[in-house]
C-alpha cells in the first residue's frame, strides 16, 4: 500500500490506554474494535505520535499487568512517530527537545519570526518507525523505565500543585506596589516563614492534585528554600531590588512597575529554563533573556499561556503539566487529541492570542476512539 501523505496525529494517553485494554480484552467484539481502529489508522497513513510524556503517563500505572499489556500493545502499532531528541539519542523526546530545537533555529539559524521557527524545526522533528522498533522486547530495560516514569508522575503532581498556590495572595500585586512594602525585620522572618508554610499547606490540600501526598513536607521545604534564597540575596549586598532581579537572572529593563509579582516570577522561571536549554545546544551558547526574550519561542509561549489558564482552576491535576507539554505539538502535527478542559483552555488561547492562530493546527476532542481515524480521512 502506498501512502499518499503521512499524517502525524497525537492521541492522548487515555485513548491509547483504552485501545490497549480492548486489544487484549476477553470479548471478541472489543478486540475487533481495537484492531479495526489500528487498521483504519494505517489505511489513512496516520502515524500514532509519541512524546516522552506519553511514556510517563502510560507506564506510571499501579497495575503491573496493565503496564505489560500496554507495552505489548505498543509493539503492535504499524506506524508510529516520536519527537526526535535534540541530541539524536534513541527514545521519544519531549518539550525540552522541542524548545531546544526552536532555540537552535534562533541562535544558530536565521529564524526570527514564529513562522520561520516552526518552518525550520518541523522537517527534522519527527522520527518514524514501527512499534516494535521503539518498544523493544527487553523486560529489564522497561522495568527501569517504569521506575523513572513513576518518579516523574509524582513530580508532575507536585509541580502542578505547588504552581497553584499563592500564600499571602501576592501574585497579582503590582511590582511598583510591592517595592513600597516595608522590608521585614530579620527577627520576624522565622514567624513569617512558619505562617507561609501553613498557608501553602492549606492551599495544596484545597487546590492541588487530589492524589498529591505530603503537602505539609512540601510546604515546609518550599519555605526553607525561599529562606535560603533570601539569605543568598542579602549576602550579595547592594541595592535589594537590583540584587533580587540579578539573582533570578532578570534584566532590569525587562520589568516595569505595572507588572505583577506573578509575571516577574515567570520571567525568573524562563531565565532558568533558557540557561539550561542553551547550555545543551550544539555548539553550546551563553544565551540570556536579552538575546532571546520570553516571547521568542512559539512553543514556550503557548505552553505558558495554557498553564496560566490551568492555574485558575479550582483544583489542578498533575496531568495538566503533561497537557501543557503536548499542546505545542499543534504547531507541528496534523492533529492533537485533548480532553474537555484542555480543549476549552486552548480555545481561550485562540481567542486571546490571535497571532498564534495561523500557526496552530487542529486539536480535537473525541470520546469514542473508533471515530478518530475518520476525522483525518484524506
Given a cut of 80, whether residue 117 has pLDDT beyond it is yes
* Spatial separation of the C-alpha atoms in residues 286 and 211, rounded to whole Å: 39
Q: Are 330 and 52 in contact (CB under 8 A)?
A: no
What's the pLDDT band for 238 if we cut at 50, 70, 90? Answer: confident
Query: Could you read off the pLDDT of 309-365 as tens digits, one per residue?
Result: 999 999 999 999 999 999 999 999 999 999 999 999 999 999 999 999 999 999 999
* Residue 190's pLDDT band (cuts 50, 70, 90): confident
pLDDT tens by residue, 34-70: 999 999 999 999 999 999 999 999 999 999 999 999 9
Distance of alpha carbon 100 from alpha carbon 89, whole angstroms: 14
Give whole-number Cα distances, 156 to 1, 254, 276, 315, in Å. Answer: 41, 29, 19, 14
Q: Is the pLDDT of residue 230 over 60?
A: yes
Q: Is the dihedral of CA 157, 158, 160, 164 positive or negative?
A: positive
Q: Tell me what the mean pLDDT of segment 88-95 comes to.
A: 94
Place of cell 487542529: 362
Average pLDDT in the 172-191 region? 88
Choose between 5 and 354: higher pLDDT: 354
Q: Could you report the per-residue pLDDT of 264-316, keeping only the tens digit for each? A: 999 999 999 999 999 999 999 999 999 999 999 999 999 999 999 999 999 99
Query: How many Å apart are CA 138 and CA 145, to the nearest integer?
Result: 11
Please give the pLDDT value at position 37. 97
User: Is pLDDT at 207 greater than 70 in this prediction?
Assistant: yes
Percent of the chain with pLDDT over 90: 90
Contacts of residue 102, defined as CB under 8 A and 6 or more positions apart, other chains included, come to 117, 121, 297, 298, 299, 300
The rounded mean pLDDT for the chain is 94
What cell numbers appear for 107 in the block?
541562535
Per-residue confidence (pLDDT) for residue 237, from 0 to 100: 86
153 and 13 in contact (C-beta within 8 Å)?
no
- Segment 232-247 shows an average pLDDT of 89
Q: How many residues are present in the chain?
A: 378
Cell of 366: 473525541
pLDDT > 70? residue 1: no
- 7-10 β-sheet, strand order: 126-129, 80-83, 46-50, 7-10, 335-337, 363-364
* 188 — pLDDT class (breaks 50, 70, 90): confident
Longest dimension (CA), the chain: 76
Tens digit of each residue's pLDDT (9 = 90 or more) over 191-204: 999 999 999 999 99
> Which of 29-33, 184-188, 211-215, 357-361 is least confident?
184-188
At residue 4 the predicted structure's pLDDT band, cuts being 50, 70 and 90, is: low
- What lies within 8 Å, CB to CB, of 154 at 6+ separation is none
Over 70: is that where the pLDDT of 132 sits? Answer: yes
- Reply yes or no on whether the pLDDT at 135 is more than 70: yes
Per-residue DSSP letter, 356? G
State the virtual CA torsion across 337, 342, 348, 353 in degrees, nearest 10. -60
Tell me, what's the pLDDT at 306? 96
Q: Residue 28: which pLDDT band, with cuts at 50, 70 and 90?
A: very high
Amino acid at each position: 500500500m502506498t501512502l499518499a501523505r503521512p499524517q502525524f496525529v497525537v492521541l492522548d494517553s487515555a485513548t491509547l490506554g483504552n485501545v490497549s485494554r480492548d486489544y487484549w480484552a476477553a470479548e471478541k467484539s472489543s478486540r475487533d474494535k481495537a484492531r479495526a481502529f489500528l487498521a483504519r489508522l494505517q489505511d489513512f497513513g496516520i502515524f500514532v505520535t509519541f512524546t516522552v510524556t506519553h511514556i510517563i503517563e502510560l507506564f506510571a500505572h499501579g497495575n503491573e499487568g496493565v503496564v505489560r499489556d500496554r507495552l505489548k500493545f505498543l509493539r503492535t502499532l504499524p506506524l508510529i512517530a516520536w519527537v526526535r531528541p535534540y541530541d539524536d539519542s534513541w527514545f521519544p523526546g519531549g518539550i525540552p527537545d522541542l524548545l531546544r530545537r526552536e532555540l537552535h533555529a534562533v541562535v544558530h539559524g536565521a529564524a526570527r519570526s514564529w513562522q520561520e521557527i516552526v518552518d525550520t524545526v518541523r522537517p527534522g522533528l519527527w522520527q518514524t518507525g514501527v512499534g516494535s522498533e521503539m518498544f523493544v522486547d527487553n523486560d529489564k530495560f522497561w522495568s527501569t523505565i517504569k521506575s523513572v516514569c513513576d518518579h516523574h508522575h509524582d513530580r508532575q503532581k507536585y509541580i502542578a500543585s505547588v504552581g497553584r498556590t499563592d500564600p499571602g495572595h501576592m501574585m497579582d500585586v503590582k511590582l511598583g506596589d510591592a517595592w513600597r512594602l516595608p522590608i521585614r525585620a530579620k527577627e520576624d522572618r522565622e514567624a513569617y516563614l512558619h505562617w507561609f508554610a501553613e498557608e501553602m499547606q492549606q492551599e495544596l490540600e484545597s487546590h492541588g492534585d487530589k492524589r498529591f501526598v505530603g503537602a505539609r513536607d512540601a510546604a515546609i521545604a518550599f519555605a526553607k528554600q525561599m529562606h535560603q534564597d533570601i539569605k543568598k540575596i542579602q549576602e550579595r549586598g547592594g541595592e535589594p531590588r537590583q540584587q533580587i532581579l540579578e539573582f533570578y537572572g532578570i534584566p532590569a529593563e525587562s520589568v516595569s512597575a505595572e507588572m505583577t509579582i506573578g509575571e516577574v516570577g515567570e520571567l525568573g522561571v524562563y531565565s532558568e529554563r533558557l540557561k539550561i536549554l542553551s547550555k545543551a545546544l550544539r555548539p553550546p551558547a551563553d544565551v540570556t533573556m536579552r538575546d532571546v526574550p520570553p516571547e521568542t519561542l512559539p512553543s514556550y509561549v503557548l505552553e505558558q499561556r495554557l498553564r496560566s489558564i490551568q492555574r485558575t482552576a479550582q483544583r489542578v491535576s498533575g496531568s495538566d503539566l503533561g497537557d501543557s507539554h503536548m499542546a505545542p505539538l499543534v504547531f507541528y502535527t496534523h492533529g492533537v487529541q485533548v480532553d474537555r478542559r484542555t480543549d476549552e483552555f486552548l480555545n481561550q488561547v485562540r481567542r486571546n492570542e490571535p497571532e498564534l492562530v495561523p500557526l496552530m493546527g487542529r486539536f480535537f476532542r473525541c470520546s469514542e476512539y473508533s471515530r478518530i481515524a475518520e476525522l483525518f480521512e484524506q
